[in-house]
Amino acid sequence: MPDSSSVPPETVAVRPAPTPQQLALKRQYPTAFDLRERARRRLPNFAFEYADGGAGADNGIKRNWNALDAVEMVPRYGRVVSPPSADTTIFGKPYAAPIGIAPIGGPGTAFPGAETYLAHAAQAVKVPYTLGLLSGIDIERAAEIAPDVLWLQLYRFSKNDHKIGLDLVRRAQEAGVNVLVLTVDTPTRTTRPREVKSGIMNPFKLTMRLRLDAMRSPHWMRSLGRNGIPRFTSLAPYMEPGIDLAKASAFIRRESGGAFTWDEIKLYRDKWDGPLVLKGVMHPDDAERAVESGLDGIFVTNHGGRQIDALPAPIDVLPEIATRVGGKCTVLYDSGLRSGVDAARAVALGAEAAFAGKSFLWSLGALGDRGPAHLIDVYIDDICATMGQLGCRNIEELRGVITRHPGAYTVADFTSAQ
Ligand SMILES: Cc1cc2nc3c(=O)[nH]c(=O)nc-3n(C[C@H](O)[C@H](O)[C@H](O)COP(=O)(O)O)c2cc1C
């Protein structure tokens, strides 16, 4: 633990006292899993399966959760820690906590209007919101809603010398996006059995089965009525006008795919004037290569167990990666986050911040537009309580907490596997 005398005094804006409505929500849905159970009951089956399902038999998801649960943190006592502050700085910008919203493609399938609600909630509280490229609001609209906290995720659109990809970079720059994220961990398309069994097709098609399923959920239908059928709005300028959802989905399948190569990453590095992050790094050598390629940050993640369920849990590879590149780039974490305790674990093991995907969709499925703000609140309260319990007054001190981490990969594990 760092010497407490070197830590500056608390400088954090006090969070406003909770309203009676917020308190009532906290009593009813104190955890992300409470929201998950309500979402399961309130959403159409396909929407919940899209939001919640993983690759294979969901073993990657379970591994992510179990690996987080196995990380222990040792408290220190003897000084006043109340109230701890979760304020932090990422890429030079202040945020209310080291907790962010991970990019989610097609979130309107899980809950129509999801992007708008997530962007508003993140901007209000000042936590990072990463707009997935395949979203129902475009980059420009997202930047209007969430100017201080907007990050943008891109997939690889490589045709015609990355014409679409680089135009998206230009638009992101003009719109004032704060951080650009290149996703690298989807080199091939994989299937999620729960999604397939629920009737979702790729390319997407609004079949009679999905319509009937949707009609069983007044909650989802009300939001559809307010927000309209989800579309891939950021990509609309590159498609024929008025194209339907099935054709738009086929267009994306045709135009995108594969993982960015190191040469391509340099191309984006040259064009993007701002923090650039590579999402999907799971090996320390790739982390080093990312630093050499001029990236400012990496996301240690296994895509929340959605791509393949044979990957290690990212929390288990995080410390080794952070040791190798922590001083040279910003290490971010996602996969399996269900609480502020999980976020604290990731920070204690070397991440600057921890992001969540599925749980934000659960929050929308459970509570609609009120969901994301409630979940952010739950996460921030929880990380503050965790810090207090551990004897940390601020995030800097949390980084120095002693951990026990039985699943941690070592350098030898990585090299012997080669
Ligand atoms: C429905 C859904 C769609 C996703 N779409 C994308 C995407 O378009 N791009 C991306 O980089 N990650 C995508 N992700 C992965 C998340 O960014 C993140 O890595 C993952 O959800 C974190 O794990 P968690 O869900 O356990 O919190 C998606 C996740 C979900 C749940």
The per-residue pLDDT for range 35-81, each reduced to its tens digit, is 999 999 999 999 999 999 999 999 999 999 999 999 999 999 988 77
Q: What is the pLDDT of residues 110-155, one digit of tens each?
A: 999 999 999 999 999 999 999 999 999 999 999 999 999 999 999 9
Q: What is the pLDDT of residues 149-207, one digit of tens each?
A: 999 999 999 999 999 999 999 999 999 999 999 999 999 989 899 999 999 988 788 89
Residue 109 alpha carbon, nearest atom of ligand 1: 1
Query: Which residue lies with its CA nearest to atom 19 of ligand 1?
Result: 303
| Residue 204: per-residue pLDDT | 81
For the cut 80, the answer to whether the pLDDT of residue 15 exceeds it is no
| Residue 4: per-residue pLDDT | 40
Q: Which residues contact 3 (CB under 8 A, 6 or more apart)?
A: none
| pLDDT tier at 16, thresholds 50, 70, 90 | confident
SS3 178: coil
| pLDDT tier at 7, thresholds 50, 70, 90 | very low
Beta carbons of 129 and 392 less than 8 angstroms apart: no
How remote is the CA of residue 156 from the centroid of ligand 1, in Å? 16
**CA–centroid distance for 104 within its chain:** 7
Pairwise CA distance, residues 138 & 193, whole Å: 29
| Residue 8: per-residue pLDDT | 41
* Assigned token pair, 383: 């990380």
Among 139, 138, 131, residue whose Cα is nearest residue 107: 131
For the cut 70, the answer to whether the pLDDT of residue 1 exceeds it is no
Beta carbons of 314 and 301 less than 8 angstroms apart: yes
Query: Which residue lies with its CA nearest to atom 10 of ligand 1?
Result: 103
Q: Which residue has the tokens 């955890």?
A: 31
Q: What angle do CA 307, 269, 157 make, to 5 degrees?
A: 45
For the cut 80, the answer to whether the pLDDT of residue 390 exceeds it is yes
Residue 134 alpha carbon, nearest atom of ligand 1: 8
CB atoms within 10 A of CB 139: 21
Q: What is the pLDDT of residues 201-226, one digit of tens each?
A: 887 888 999 999 999 999 999 999 99
Omega before 103 cis (within 30°)? no
Strand ranges (E), 292-401: 297-300, 330-334, 353-356
DSSP assignments along 75-130, one per residue = ---SS--PSP---EEETTEEESSSEEEPP-SSHHHHSTTHHHHHHHHHHHHT--EE
Residue 51 alpha carbon, nearest atom of ligand 1: 1
Percent of the chain with pLDDT over 70: 96
| Residue 6: per-residue pLDDT | 41
Is 219 considered catalytic here? no
Q: 318: domain CATH number? A: 3.20.20.70
112 CB under 6 A from ligand 1?
Answer: no
Pairwise CA distance, residues 300 & 334, whole Å: 7
How far apart, in Å, are the Cα atoms of 286 and each of 1, 91, 324? 29, 21, 11
| Residue 14: per-residue pLDDT | 64
| Residue 223: per-residue pLDDT | 98
How remote is the CA of residue 355 from the centroid of ligand 1, in Å? 10
Query: Which residue lies with its CA nearest to atom 21 of ligand 1?
Result: 357
Residue to probe by mutation, ligand 1, list 104, 180, 300, most atoms within 8 Å of CB: 104
Beta carbons of 266 and 283 less than 8 angstroms apart: no
Among 384, 285, 410, residue whose Cα is nearest residue 82: 384
Residue 50 alpha carbon, nearest atom of ligand 1: 1
| pLDDT tier at 9, thresholds 50, 70, 90 | very low
How remote is the CA of residue 60 from the centroid of ligand 1, in Å? 13
Among 415, 404, 407, 409, residue whose Cα is nearest residue 322: 409
Residue 236 φ/ψ region, left for φ over 0, alpha for ψ in the -120 to 50 degree band, beta for the rest? alpha
Number of domains in the chain: 1
For the cut 50, the answer to whether the pLDDT of residue 411 exceeds it is yes
Phi, psi for residue 96 in degrees, rounded to 5: -75, -20
For the cut 90, the answer to whether the pLDDT of residue 82 exceeds it is no
298 CB under 6 A from ligand 1?
Answer: no
For the cut 90, the answer to whether the pLDDT of residue 2 exceeds it is no
Query: Which residue lies with its CA nearest to atom 26 of ligand 1?
Result: 336
Pairwise CA distance, residues 367 & 93, whole Å: 30
Among 114, 42, 138, residue whose Cα is nearest residue 361: 114
Beta carbons of 286 and 320 less than 8 angstroms apart: no
How remote is the CA of residue 334 from the centroid of ligand 1, in Å? 9
Query: Which residue lies with its CA nearest to atom 6 of ligand 1?
Result: 104
Q: Tell me which residue range forms the domain holding 50.
A: 4-416
Q: What is the pLDDT of residues 87-117, one digit of tens each?
A: 999 999 999 999 999 999 999 999 999 999 9
Tell me which of 219, 283, 303, 405 is the catalytic residue: 303
105 CB under 6 A from ligand 1?
Answer: yes
Phi, psi for residue 14 in degrees, rounded to 5: -75, 135
Residues pairing with 152 in the sheet? 131, 180
Query: Which residue lies with its CA nearest to atom 13 of ligand 1?
Result: 104
For the cut 60, the answer to whether the pLDDT of residue 395 exceeds it is yes
How remote is the CA of residue 303 from the centroid of ligand 1, in Å? 5
| pLDDT tier at 418, thresholds 50, 70, 90 | low
| pLDDT tier at 5, thresholds 50, 70, 90 | very low
| Residue 413: per-residue pLDDT | 87
Beta carbons of 136 and 107 less than 8 angstroms apart: yes
| Residue 313: per-residue pLDDT | 98
| Residue 341: per-residue pLDDT | 98
Q: Which residues contact 27 (CB under 8 A, 6 or more apart)?
A: none
Length of the chain: 418
